[in-house]
Amino acid sequence: MQSGFPAMRRAFASAVATAVLALAFPAAAQDGAALLGRAADAARTLNYTGTIAYQRAAGVETARLIHVNDGGEEFEKLYNLDGPAREVIRSNGEVRCYYPDAKVVRVEPRTFRNAFPSLSPQQQSSLAQYYTVRKGGIGRVAGLEAQAWTFEPKDGLRYGHELWTDPTTGILLKARMINERGEVVEQIAFLDIVLGAKLGPEAAKPTWPVSPPDWQVRRPRTGKLVEADTGWVVAKLPPGYAKVSEGRLGGRGGKSDGAAQLVYSDGMVAVSVFIDQRGGPQRHVGRARQGGLNQFSVKQDDYVITALGEAPPDAVQAIATSVTRR
Amino acid sequence: MNEDISRLMDGELDDDGAVDRTLAGLRQDGAIATWMCYHVIGDTLRGDVAASTRLSRRLAAALADEPTVLAPQRRVDRPATWAWAMAASVAAVAVVGWTAVSLTDAPASTVALAREAASVRADSLRPQVIPAEYLLAHREMSPTTPIQGLGPIQRVSVTGDAALAR
């Protein structure tokens, strides 16, 4: 794993050199954390509408996004522009996913916003220690001038990241994850965006404010993470990753007897470890991947242990295979 | 036979007799091609794209002989729902795509592949889908989530929607 280190740096450096970032220079360590914090604030507090492209090996998918902050309360509507119609509404502390062809509404008791509004001092320290942050040149994304940034990994245990932000508001316009061969494993970008529009909550209303009577409303088997000591530990944690959370996913009837979840972060990404009884959602062992997300599952006694995160396959596998009882 | 090879690779052949019979069967014509083919599929599923020219020819031959090889019959513990079937078919298309890429971009690494094929690995060959419950629970904790006005649901809704609607 360590042997991948020089190759990764070379590949990443060459990828960067051929991009618009030829004039990149190292930024102060705290700039990385500040940049991420500013982007998170902008994504939460601004009104914006735009078209998004999400690209990975399987192809490109596009979606329309409307985000409204109405006096501190967030409303968001996202619907895809290709493939079967899908709509995602985020409001009032929950997320509703509409599947008109299947006549299903799935309700998630999550907001995907407040878990970690900013990086902890530990995460900021990892970020500075395990990535070289460079401020690049000014490029163009979605018709806007965009400030380029690179987060170059210092070892083979994490992907490289290229980010483009709006210099005025700090909002993220484009993000790329790059593997050890300098290839883009995942890319997400605005194709067009309108920032600061005057929008009210009605702009992010669902197409189906009341679910049609013949639709099914489904609620997930597992609920939110309830902090707890799980008795599990990753014995050989790869350098730079530190635990940020530990607990159990809520089971049926509000009981916190679901899978154990341990979350480790290096400041840029996270790897979650799920320890579930056999018969849980993960039925097979081995690797799986989806864009920049890698997963590795292994059986241990009556449990299936799964590590999942925006980290290279080897890092995720190393974590999954060293989970043990404390 | 193909079923046994697949189960052997998955570590699902429980009794020694079945393991011996399957290993003996690998000596028969065509069986080793299936074995290697399964490994290539497994590797491409895992993103380890590497295949020799010679193997590519054998793989092509195996594919011609065994049109069902990309979808080996599996025992399922419960009836497959339409959603599962949809997810599997999407993944299968991805596998075919990746296999095609590996055939055209094949570097010559016969030795590495031989070593690969000789070791029985527990990695699954099935089209793997990351469980939506894990994906969502993870996304809520990832630092990449809050910086993207679009992150988690966009990815889940498009890529894992079949599993979500289940």
- Inspect the interface and report whether the beta carbons of A272 and B129 lie closer than 8 Å: no
**What's the pLDDT score for residue B165?**
44
pLDDT tens, B89-133? Answer: 333 333 332 322 222 222 333 333 333 333 333 333 344 577 877
pLDDT of residue B6: 62
Res. B82 pLDDT band, cuts 50 70 90: very low
What's the gap in Å between the CA of A274 and the closest CA on chain B?
8
Question: Is residue B156 pLDDT above 50, yes or no?
Answer: no
Rounded to a whole number of angstroms, the distance from the CA of B150 to the nearest CA of chain A is: 8
CATH fold match for the domains A4-204 and A225-325: no
Decide: residue A150, CB within 10 A, 0-12 exposed, 13-18 middle, 19+ buried: buried
Compute the nearest-CA separation of A34 from chain B (Å). 11
Q: Where are the alpha helices (DSSP H) in chain A?
A: 4-18, 29-45, 121-130, 313-320
**Is B157 within 8 Å of A225 when comparing Cβ atoms?**
no
Name the CATH code of domain A4-204 (choices 2.60.40.10, 3.90.1150.10, 2.20.25.10, 2.50.20.10): 2.50.20.10
Tokens representing A237? Answer: 């944690």
Predicted-assembly ipTM surpassing the 0.95 threshold: no
DSSP state of A180: T
Per-residue burial over A242-273, b if 16 or more Cβ lie within 10 Å, else e, is bebbbbbbbeeeeeeebbbbbbbbbbbbbbbb
Residue B73 pLDDT more than 70? Answer: no
**Which residue from A83, A161, A321, A108 is spatially nearest to B135, judged by alpha carbons?**
A108
CA distance A249 to A261: 7
- pLDDT at residue A102 is higher than 50: yes
What is the DSSP secondary structure assignment for residue A255, as one 8-state letter?
A: -
- Would the CB atoms of B143 and A123 count as touching at under 8 Å? yes
Spell out which residues of chain B touch residue A265, defining contact as CB-CB under 8 Å: 141-143
Residues 59-98 of A with CB under 8 A from B: 61, 63, 65, 67, 76, 78, 80, 83-84, 86, 88, 90, 95, 97
Closest partner residue to B137 (CB to CB) among A36, A172, A222 is: A222
Task: Report the distance separating Cα B59 and Cα B70, nearest Å.
Answer: 11
pLDDT digits (tens, 9 = 90+) for A140-165: 999 999 999 999 999 999 999 999 99
* Spatial separation of the C-alpha atoms in residues B89 and B97, rounded to whole Å: 12
- Report percent pLDDT > 70 for chain A: 84
Contacts of A171 in chain B (CB under 8 A): 149
Look up tokens 């995720």; give the residue.
A316
User: Poorest-confidence range of A4-13, A283-292, A309-318?
Assistant: A4-13
Asked if the C-beta of A291 comes within 8 angstroms of chain B's C-beta atoms, the answer is: yes
Per-residue pLDDT for B152 more than 50? no
Q: What's the token pair of residue B87?
A: 């997810």
Maximum Cα interatomic distance, chain A, rounded to a whole number of Å: 59
- B13 alpha carbon, distance to own chain's centre: 18
pTM over 0.95: no
- Asked if pLDDT for residue A239 goes beyond 50, the answer is yes
Question: Quick one: pLDDT at residue B17?
Answer: 75
- Is A225 close to B140, i.e. CB distance below 8 A? yes
Would the CB atoms of A282 and B134 count as touching at under 8 Å?
yes
Task: Determine the number of helices (DSSP H) and then strands (DSSP E) in chain A.
Answer: 4, 22
C-alpha to C-alpha distance for A213 and A91, rounded to whole angstroms: 22
Q: Which among B129, B148, B158 has the least Cβ separation from residue A175?
A: B148
List the domain boundaries for chain A: 4-204, 225-325
CA B31 to chain centre: 18
Could you tell me which of B144, B156, B79 has the C-alpha nearest to residue A162? B144
- Cβ–Cβ below 8 Å for B129 and A288: yes
A174 CB neighbours in chain B (<8 A) are none
- Domain at A225-325, CATH homologous superfamily: MucB/RseB, C-terminal domain (3.30.200.100)
Stretch A158-173: mean pLDDT: 94
Question: What residue of B is the nearest CA neighbor of A294?
Answer: B130
pLDDT surpasses 60 at A40: yes
